[in-house]
């Protein structure tokens, strides 16, 4: 039996507030479980509509329709008087932290909302623009991305919405262009796209929260020859398919002034631009078999698990999870990966400077930079938490499979050559067959961006859900295809990076558009 990619509308959203979501949050140290369903997201959101920069009949009607639709779905719409607090450093009031603000029309430089933010990542800005998006019919993925990033930088906004008579179009930092229906009825685009994008904002991983070991990794050493060869074999496949988007340099964008350019650079954690996609090899490891609760040692069964999914027992971390109608205790291992450096050219990597080793051990992220490359020149991927969620999910899946004595190919691959994880900003065609033994998930998750805790939780929970699906059906489990709506695709499992790239190229080529 082969899994196929189904249209989003045929798949129901799973309850990710279930134990697998809590387990992911605890394993990764994400804190409390964030809002994961559109309804939860809506009730967590607070929006203020600023005084319009431009008055057109269409923008005025749209803004009012948007205000009413948000309020009807549980979003708190704050009066303009409550949007500001205190005084800024130059006598300016600032937005109240945590608020999403909507500005109507493209205003003068000193009137834009970006001038009133209290700090980075504390305010989401939506800009309503009269007219169609700057994306031409037939434009490729790269051209689309560059056009949208240009709008974001010029208007200093997170989510521009283009308003036409027949439709409204949402654009995001992912390069996503999401056409919605007639805004006079404010269709599913509100809950199916806008609310999730505003709730789960793009925030780069914080460097200071990670352990950096400068020059601790030699990617061109003999120990890594076979693994590095896989990156180099995959690269031209991605280049020829055109699916792995290139780097969009900050130097190619237009800015209204120096302050706005500095603000864009700060939002990107001082990166030189925006780059999309990643390639990762999860390194070989021999996981221990999981322990079923029935017959487990007393130290595991009698531990104080109430309200917790992870804790140390006997000096070792264990996870408790529910699967296949029973309870399991899984020794939590440390995981290690080779990953592309954020911002590098994934379709033509230089192993000596573009590969880093990343580990996750007892809640701590460790990054080993390549020899001769200062750590200041290296940036962790925006998708760091999703990558780690996949890797931990793979280790837990292998541990369960070893305990069951089932599907040996997956744990054997992890113990031998390791596994691969690839991400690109595109999708296989609906109806495309997944690789043999790979299971599809995520089509109907709310669309969130990379770097969000939601994206990591969806990846982790989806992996355990598909593992359970495979085992209940008596099918071989070899990996997963994680569809991230309005974002991209992750494929991870026993296939090498090169094999995954060839599958993606073939599956996407069937779109016929």
Asked whether residue 259 is domain-assigned, the answer is yes
Residues 332 and 349 placed together within one structural domain of the fold: yes
Asked whether residue 10 is domain-assigned, the answer is no
Residues 284 and 373 placed together within one structural domain of the fold: yes
Residues 167 and 311 placed together within one structural domain of the fold: no
Residues 184 and 299 placed together within one structural domain of the fold: no
Give how many domains the chain has, as a whole number.
Answer: 2
Q: Which residue has the higher pLDDT, 462 or 12?
A: 462
- Please give the average per-residue pLDDT across 21-32, as a whole number: 92
Q: Hunting for tokens 């085992």 — which residue is that? A: 471
Please report, for the domain that includes residue 51, its CATH number.
3.40.50
pTM of the model: 0.91
- Quickly list H helices, 15-137: 19-28, 38-43, 57-72
Asked whether residue 321 is domain-assigned, the answer is yes
Residues 51 and 141 placed together within one structural domain of the fold: yes
Residues 215 and 321 placed together within one structural domain of the fold: yes
Query: Domain range spanning residue 266?
Result: 207-511
Structure confidence at residue 376 (pLDDT): 78
Residues 222 and 156 placed together within one structural domain of the fold: no
Residues 253 and 183 placed together within one structural domain of the fold: no
Structure confidence at residue 1 (pLDDT): 47
Structure confidence at residue 309 (pLDDT): 92
Residues 361 and 294 placed together within one structural domain of the fold: yes
Asked whether residue 14 is domain-assigned, the answer is no
Residues 247 and 105 placed together within one structural domain of the fold: no
Asked whether residue 58 is domain-assigned, the answer is yes
- Quickly list H helices, 274-361: 298-301, 351-354
Tell me how crowded residue 235 is: count the other CB atoms within 10 A of its CB.
21
Mark which of 199, 229, 257 sits at the end of a domain. 199
Question: What is the band of 12 on the pLDDT scale with cuts at 50, 70, 90?
Answer: very low
Residues written for the chain: 513
Q: Under DSSP, is residue 448 helix (H, G, I), strand (E, B) or coil?
A: coil
Question: Starting from the edge strand earliest in sequence, which strands make up the sheet with 355-361, in order?
Answer: 211-217, 364-370, 355-361, 335-340, 278-282, 419-424, 488-493, 479-484, 438-441
Residues 496 and 356 placed together within one structural domain of the fold: yes
Residues 156 and 267 placed together within one structural domain of the fold: no
Q: Which residue has the higher pLDDT, 30 or 138?
A: 30
> Which residues, including other chains, have CB under 8 Å from residue 264's CB and lie 6 or more apart?
153, 156, 250, 253, 255
Structure confidence at residue 18 (pLDDT): 67
């Amino acid at each position: 039996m082969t899994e196929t990619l189904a249209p989003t509308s045929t798949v129901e959203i799973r309850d990710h507030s279930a134990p697998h979501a809590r387990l992911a949050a605890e394993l990764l140290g994400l804190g409390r479980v964030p809002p994961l369903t559109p309804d939860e997201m809506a009730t967590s959101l607070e929006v203020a509509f600023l005084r319009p920069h431009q008055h057109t009949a269409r923008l005025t009607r749209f803004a009012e329709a948007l205000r009413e639709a948000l309020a009807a779905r549980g979003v708190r719409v704050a009066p303009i008087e409550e949007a500001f607090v205190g005084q800024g450093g130059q006598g300016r009031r600032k937005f109240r932290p945590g608020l999403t603000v909507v500005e109507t029309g493209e205003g003068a430089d000193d009137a834009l909302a970006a001038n009133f933010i209290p700090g980075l990542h504390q305010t989401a800005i939506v800009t309503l623009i009269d007219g169609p998006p700057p994306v031409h019919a037939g434009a490729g993925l790269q051209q689309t991305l560059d056009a949208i990033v240009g709008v974001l930088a010029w208007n200093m906004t997170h989510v521009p919405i283009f308003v036409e008579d027949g439709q409204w179009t949402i654009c995001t930092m992912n390069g996503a262009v999401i056409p919605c229906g007639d805004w006079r009825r404010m269709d599913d685009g509100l809950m199916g796209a806008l609310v999730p994008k505003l709730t789960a904002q793009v925030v780069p991983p914080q460097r200071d929260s990670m352990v950096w070991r400068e020059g601790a990794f030699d990617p061109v050493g003999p120990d890594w020859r076979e693994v590095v060869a896989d990156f180099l074999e995959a690269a031209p496949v991605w280049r020829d398919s055109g699916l792995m988007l290139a780097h969009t340099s900050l130097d190619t964008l237009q800015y209204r002034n120096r302050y706005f350019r500095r603000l864009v650079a700060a939002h990107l954690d001082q990166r030189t631009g925006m780059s999309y996609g990643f390639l990762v090899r999860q390194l070989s490891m021999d996981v221990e078999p999981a322990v079923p609760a029935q017959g487990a040692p007393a130290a595991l069964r009698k531990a104080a698990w109430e309200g917790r999914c992870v804790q140390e027992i006997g000096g070792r971390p264990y996870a408790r999870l529910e699967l296949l109608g029973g309870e399991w205790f899984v020794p939590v291992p440390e995981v290690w990966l080779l990953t592309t450096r954020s911002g590098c050219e994934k379709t033509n990597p230089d192993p000596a400077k573009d590969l880093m080793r990343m580990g996750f051990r007892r809640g701590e992220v460790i990054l080993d930079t390549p020899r001769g490359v200062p750590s200041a020149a290296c940036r962790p991927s925006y998708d760091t938490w999703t990558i780690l969620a996949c890797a931990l999910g793979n280790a837990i899946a292998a541990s369960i499979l070893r305990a069951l004595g089932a599907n040996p190919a997956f744990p054997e691959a992890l113990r031998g050559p390791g596994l691969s994880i690839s991400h690109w900003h595109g999708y296989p065609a609906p109806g495309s067959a997944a690789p043999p033994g790979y299971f599809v998930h995520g089509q109907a998750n709310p669309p969130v961006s990379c770097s969000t805790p939601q994206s990591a939780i969806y990846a982790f929970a989806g992996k355990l859900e598909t593992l359970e699906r495979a085992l209940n059906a008596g099918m071989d489990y070899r990996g997963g295809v994680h569809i991230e709506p309005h974002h991209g695709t992750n494929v991870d499992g026993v296939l090498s990076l090169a094999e995954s790239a060839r599958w993606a190229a073939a599956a996407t080529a069937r779109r016929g558009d």
